[in-house]
Amino acid sequence: MKKVLLFLVTALFALSLIGCDNGGEKELTMMWWSDGTEGFVMQTLLNRYEEETGVKITLVSTPYNEYEQRLATMISGGKAPHLARVTEGHLNNFQDQILDLDKVFDSTQFKNLFFNAAGKVIALPMDITANGLFINKDLLDKYDVNYPELGDPVWTWAEFETEMNKLRDKEDVTAPGIFDHQAHRFMPLFYQNGVTLWDTPYTTSNLTSTKAVATLQKLMDWYDNGFLSNQTYVAKNSAGEFRKGTYGFHMSGNWNVSAYQNLPFSWTVVPMPKGETRATILGGKSMAAFANSGAEKEAKAFITWLAKGVNHDQFTNGVPYLTPRLGAQVNYGPFAEQYNVFLDEIANTSNEHITDWLDQVMIPGMYPIINLLVENAANPDQTKTALQLLQELEAQLKDIMD
């Protein structure tokens, strides 16, 4: 009996060593998620940083749909990470826990910056994102669907629908197309139809205007009549769905360009249809450092290093991504063709629309609310009209701003 106990205790002790941390040298953690290859690219940078400075930073990858929640519980549980990749939504939600990066890097060299309430920069912009339209070339060519390429006259939404409807009820097609589940992918449609969201930011909005209602109604119709797949809200991973090869188009953004590099079918990016105008909306990811992490100085030091041209460009070129660093040249390599479309979309979006969206983004906690809007639009069982949904949205957004 005693021998058995002794054995058990030793075995357990041995096993418990598995769960041991190693103390000693300051080792930093960087929270990360990847849509495609950017994790690997960051890892090469981290390896180089360790060679140059001896400081080891561990990349901790988490699936995106749990990312924010994980960050929140870590912070709340007293185990804030040292560094983290963040979207503007995260910067919004975690404003009070993020270190300000005043004097950590030269912010005049970057665009897409975010500031806290005291006007200090709180993150280093890493890449810019733009929404755009991916198509499954094989599928479209098979069914004689016409589509414009860069340089051709841009199609209207009516033409787009007519063409994509050729894919309906085909055996190897689940639905003509799929949107991502986030409202962010649908928002360009408002701008394309000539609606700016705010007349006077946060007091008068155009969300309940006839044009806005018509745009949302169109989205609801698309889900109702099967033009768009509602798998979007079942799996909440439209990129995964698109990979199956049974959709004609995927409304997403440039981060999927490198993510899609090994798809078993031929795909490309084409210009989004236009309404009254063309429009895309911009977003971006940044690198932030958290307060109370225990290694704040070291975290800031890394950010300084990362902001240097030679290092920053290694990241944006490595994926590749659109760069927020002024004057940087990115070699898009095999993706040049697709990225030219995105650059074209950005060039054809009016400044008014860009700043209008930035106003929208500064509303704290707005993402879950607008996401609810499109989720409701897609839900076949809900009974509110487009106007009612938009009225609700407007009321909720104004509510938070108080």
Partner 1 sequence: MITKRFVWKVQIIATFVFLIFLVPVLYTIASAFKDMTELFSTTPTFFPKQWTLANFIHVLSIGDYTLYILNSLFVATTSTIIAIVINTMSGYALAKYKFKGATIIMIVILSTIMLPLEIFMAPIFKVITFFGMYDSLWAIIIPPAATPTGIFLMRQYLLTIPDDIIDSARIDGASEWQIFLRIIIPNAKPAIATLAIFSFMWRWNDYVWPLISIFSPKKQTLQLAIANLTGEYGTDYTSALAISVFSMIPMLLIFVTFQRSFIQGTVDSGMKG
Partner 2 sequence: MTSKVLSYKKYKFKQKIIPYIFLAPNLLIFTIFIIFPALIGIVYSFTDRTLFTFGNANFVGFQNYITIFNDPFFIKALWNTVGLALVTVPLMFVVSLLLAVLLKQPIKALGFYRATYYWPVMISAIVVGIIWQWILAGNYGLFNTTLQGLHNFFKSLGLVSSTFTPSPTLSDGRFAWIAVVFAILWSRAGYYMIIFLAALLSIPVSLYEAAEMDGANKFQKFRFITYPSLKAARTMVLILVTMEVFKIYPLVVTFTGGGPFRATEFTVQYIYKVAFQHYQIGQASAMSVIMLLIVTTFSGIIFFLSKRGEGQ
Q: Decide: is 73 part of the binding site for partner 1 (CB under 8 A).
A: yes
Helix (H, G, I), strand (E, B) or coil at 269: strand
Q: Decide: is 118 part of the binding site for partner 1 (CB under 8 A).
A: no
Q: Could you give the string, one character per residue 50-89, with x where binding to partner 2 holds by CB under 8 A and - elsewhere?
A: ------------------xx--xx-xx-------------
Choose among 196, 225, 199, 228: nearest CA to 211.
196
For residue 400 the two structure tokens come to 């938070």
Q: Decide: is 261 part of the binding site for partner 1 (CB under 8 A).
A: no
Q: Report the partner that residue 368 touches, choosing among partner 1, partner 2, none (CB closer than 5 to 8 A by kind).
A: partner 2
Task: State how far the alpha carbon of 15 is from the alpha carbons of 8, 137, 370, in Å.
Answer: 10, 52, 47
Q: Which of residues 209-238 bind partner 1 (CB under 8 A)?
A: 235-237
* Residue 161 vs 375, nearer CB to partner 2: 375
172: left (phi over 0), alpha (psi -120 to 50) or beta: alpha
Q: Decide: is 19 part of the binding site for partner 1 (CB under 8 A).
A: yes
* Residue 3 vs 297, nearer CB to partner 1: 3
Choose among 36, 187, 67, 203: nearest CA to 195.
187
* Residue 151 vs 364, nearer CB to partner 2: 364
Q: Decide: is 230 part of the binding site for partner 2 (CB under 8 A).
A: yes
For residue 201, cis peptide bond before it (omega within 30 degrees of 0): no
Q: Decide: is 375 part of the binding site for partner 2 (CB under 8 A).
A: yes
Q: Decide: is 74 part of the binding site for partner 1 (CB under 8 A).
A: yes
Contacts 24+ apart (CB under 8 A), 393-400: 393/207, 393/369, 394/205, 394/207, 394/208, 396/369, 397/202, 397/205, 397/207, 397/363, 397/366, 397/369, 398/202, 398/203, 398/205, 400/363, 400/364, 400/365, 400/366, 400/369
Least Å distance, CB 75 to partner 2, is: 7
For residue 378 the two structure tokens come to 């897609």
Least Å distance, CB 328 to partner 1, is: 32
Instruction: Please report, as ranges, the residues that interact with partner 1 according to CB under 8 A.
Output: 8, 12, 15-16, 18-19, 60-63, 65-66, 70, 73-74, 76-79, 235-237, 239-241, 243
Instruction: Please report, as ranges, the residues that interact with partner 2 according to CB under 8 A.
Output: 68-69, 72-73, 75-76, 93, 96-97, 230-231, 233-234, 368, 375, 379-382
